[in-house]
Amino acid sequence: MKSSILATVFATGAFAQSGAWGQCGGINHSGATTCVSGYSCVYVNDWYSQCQPSAAAPTTTAKTTTSSAVATTLKTSTTTTAKASSTTSSAAAATTSAASGKLKWLGVNQSGAEFGNDVFPGTWGKHFTFPDNAAMQTLIGQGYNMFRVAFSMERLTPNTLTGAFDAAYLKNLTATVNYITNAGAYAILDPHNFGRFYGNVITDTAAFQTWWTNVAKQYASNSKVIFDTNNEYHDMDQTLVLNLNQVAINGIRAAGATSQYIFVEGNSYSGAWTWTQVNTNLVSLTDPQNKIVYEMHQYLDSDGSGTSATCVSSTIGAERIASATAWLRANGKQGIIGEFAGGANSVCQAAVKGLLDHLKANSDVWTGGLWWGGGPWWGDYIFGYEPPSGTGYTYYNSLLRNYTP
Ligand SMILES: *[C@@H]1O[C@H](CO)[C@@H](O)[C@H](O)[C@H]1NC(C)=O
Ligand SMILES: *[C@@H]1O[C@H](CO)[C@@H](O)[C@H](O)[C@H]1NC(C)=O
Ligand SMILES: CC(=O)N[C@H]1CO[C@H](CO)[C@@H](O)[C@@H]1O
């Protein structure tokens, strides 16, 4: 489904100059090879060249200033300055350069509380469960410092978006969150809802803002909680995705939760590889606390869906996120790969290593990544990361440990 979106976008550019962040070259690219005024065609990888702001444009200076301001809260500004000045020379160069930076976060998605999403409210222990504290403790012992806790909005607020909490579900969710943060790690609250409530796209932005105010009030005093506005918006109006993210930020800050990071997600399943074709309008999101992190997801199978253990190539990891790296840097933003994975085989292993090396080499804009996925009910799932015997954990832990903060 992602490839058809790409085909459409590329086809429309066939007889014109490519616009800002549009494709302008690459193997089999049949569209425009020149860019609109103020943008230059920059090689990203063999399959993809992109219209990026021209080096000498005055906007570059302004963007660098923004990036330094963001960096104050996240990273040293020296790293940012060095990286920012080389932005337009080549995003691909960073792919092959030494992975010298340091990730702020490396962690694992935790599934369970969102399972059984065809049965609401469902039964604890049958349709859904919560993450296993002992398994997370094992991962923390290995150096991981972040968990993304998936849950279902329908189970937390069963009646309406603005309605009361289910006290038992909230209690269990909060117990998981507190376990993680008391152990010194970060807990991401991930309403795993794809921008929908009981299957319907959320269009009532006022209600969504209230939902977030109510939820954030529960966690306002815990600075190790991170709010993720929603998992993987898809097939939605692009302005609606912008608005839902913005009212979530507004609602969270209105709750008095002012110390926490907020992860925003994009349309088209928040894919990093399509970000610059789909989600560029999200650049205008604002946060009075300046703690927005752009959460993108990236799988390495042919359609990017994360449903196959076969990776496209040993270099696909870095290639698929390179254009997002350039976008983050040019706009002075911070990002995280909130979901990534590969099958237990040597091609995927090289691709995952390439992705992590790219994150590290570009740690002025990338804060880290989260493997998909952990949780007690994955069984022999191809990407399962539950200690001690999960397929992904046994194959990838020795590699990922090299990247823990
Ligand atoms: C380019 O197009 C040709 C002919 O359609 C095809 O055989 C080839 O696989 C394509 N290459 C890539 C990299 O997509
Ligand atoms: C919460 O967890 C307890 C076990 O700790 C379980 O008995 C209960 O059913 C759970 N309730 C919900 C709604 O998750
Ligand atoms: C790639 C992948 O595993 N995606 C998962 C995202 O989360 C939902 C809900 O847990 C799963 O059904 C998907 O398989």
- The β-bridge relationship of strands 23-25 and 48-53 is antiparallel
Closest Cα to atom 13, ligand 2: which residue? 169
Residue 101 pLDDT:
66
* CA of 274 relative to ligand 1 center, distance in Å: 20
- Residue 30 near ligand 1, beta carbon < 6 Å: no
Residue 80 confidence (pLDDT) = 28
Ligand whose nearest atom lies closest to the CA of 302: 1
pLDDT of 238: 98
Alpha-carbon gap, residue 279 to 2, rounded angstroms: 13
CA of 74 to the centre of ligand 1 (A): 42
> Ligand 1 centroid to 29 CA: how many Å?
10
Q: Please, are residues 244 and 208 in contact by the beta-carbon 8 Å criterion?
A: yes
Q: Is residue 123 packed enough to be buried (19+ CB in 10 Å), middle (13-18) or exposed (0-12)?
A: exposed
Out of 232, 265, 295, 319, the active site residue is 232
What is the helix (H) or strand (E) element at residue 371, kind and residue range? Answer: strand 366-374
Q: What is the pTM of this model?
A: 0.75
Using the atom order of ligand 1, give the atom closest to the CA of residue 46. 13
Q: Which domains, and CATH codes, for the chain?
A: 1-54 (no CATH), 105-403 (3.20.20.80)
Please give the angle made by the CA atoms of 94, 95 and 101, to the nearest 5 degrees: 60
Per-residue pLDDT reduced to its tens digit, 277-324: 999 999 999 999 999 999 999 999 999 999 999 999 999 999 999 999
Catalytic site residue 232?
Answer: yes
| Predicted local confidence at residue 49, as pLDDT | 74
DSSP letter at 128?
B
On average, the pLDDT of the chain sits at 85
Give the torsion sign (CA, 354, 400, 2, 323). Answer: negative
- pLDDT value at residue 9: 33
Can 114 be counted among the known catalytic residues?
no
- Residues of the chain falling short of pLDDT 70: 1-15, 20-21, 28, 44-48, 55-101
Nearest ligand to the C-alpha atom of residue 371: 3
SS3 93: helix
Each residue of 352-363: pLDDT tens digit?
A: 999 999 999 999
Separation CA 150–CA 112 (nearest Å): 7
What's the CA dihedral at 344, 347, 353, 357 to 10 degrees?
A: -160
Q: Give the tokens for residue 310.
A: 């076969």
Cα–Cα–Cα angle for 235, 237, 242, rounded to 5 degrees: 115
Helix or strand (DSSP H, E) at 262: strand 262-265
Distance between CA 151 and CA 22 in Å, rounded?
35
pLDDT for 46 equals 65
In this structure, the residue with its CA closest to atom 4 of ligand 3 is 306
- Per-residue confidence (pLDDT) for residue 108, from 0 to 100: 86
Looking at ligand 2, which residue's alpha carbon is closest to its atom 2?
Answer: 172
Whole-number Å distance, alpha carbon 28 to ligand 1 midpoint, is 6
- 3 state SS of 157: coil
Per-residue confidence (pLDDT) for residue 16, from 0 to 100: 73
Which protein residue's CA is at the shortest distance from atom 3 of ligand 3? Answer: 306
Are the beta carbons of 330 and 53 closer than 8 angstroms?
A: yes
Which residues contact ligand 3 via a Cβ below 6 A? 111, 114, 150, 192, 306, 372-373
